[in-house]
Amino acid sequence: MWGAPYSIRNLSDSTLTQYELDKLSKHKRYEIRMSVYNAVGEGPTSSPQEVFVGEAVPTAPPQNVAIQSATATQLDVTWDPPPVDAQNGDIQGYKVYFWEFQRKNETERLRTLFMPEGGVKLKNLTGYTTYMTAWDGPVVSTTQTHQQAANQTTRYQ
């Protein structure tokens, strides 16, 4: 009768004309059918009704956040998306907040990524300075930029 995993709610109050289904997963499609029963047995089910439970705010931060000091003025930040069951919809992008340690009010900056990328380069930072990074939520990590001599050039191949 039922193809996928399903749940049955028995409502024994025959005067009910509405019922609220709770604990449904976000960003999922549900099929709902109803039947009525009496002392003799259960009648046929109604036609299925499809319902889509919309998106909600993600309930977990990005995972495996890693921050590397690339140069005296650049930090490379990489991450993995939140667990699928905590995304509650399609990830549209990320916001990375960063500031100099103990100077948040004066130095806080925001980098908004509108694609579901897994990394960003934070450039034009102050050398040999500890930075705090965070998402829309608690502080994730602290990292210090390299100290670079005035005439030193950093090369990558």
Domain ranges of the chain: 63-144
Q: Which CATH number fits domain 63-144: 3.40.50.620, 2.60.40.10, 1.20.960.40, 3.30.1340.30?
A: 2.60.40.10
Task: Give tens-digit pLDDT for 96-106.
Answer: 999 988 888 88
Residue pair 96/122 in contact (Cβ under 8 Å)? The answer is yes
Task: Supply the pLDDT for residue 157.
Answer: 31
Helix (H) or strand (E) holding 151: none
The whole-number pLDDT of residue 128 equals 84
**Given a cut of 50, is residue 153 above it in pLDDT?**
no
DSSP E strands: which ranges in the chain?
28-32, 49-53, 63-71, 74-80, 94-100, 109-113, 119-122, 130-134, 139-144
Residue 47 gets the label, from left (phi > 0), alpha (psi -120 to 50) or beta, of beta
Give residue for tokens 């908004």: 112
pLDDT score at 4: 67
Q: Residue 99 and residue 103: Cα distance in Å, rounded?
A: 7
72-88 pLDDT per residue, tens: 899 999 999 999 989 99
Q: Return d(Cα 105, Cα 44) in angstroms, integer.
A: 65
The band of 8, judged by pLDDT with boundaries at 50, 70 and 90, is confident
Q: Give residue 24's pLDDT band: very low, low, confident or very high (50, 70, 90).
A: confident
Q: How far is CA 85 from CA 25, 52, 90, 107, in A?
A: 8, 16, 11, 35
* pTM, full prediction: 0.65
More confident site: 89 or 133: 89
* Mean of all residue pLDDT scores within the chain: 83
Number of H helices and number of E strands within the chain?
2, 9
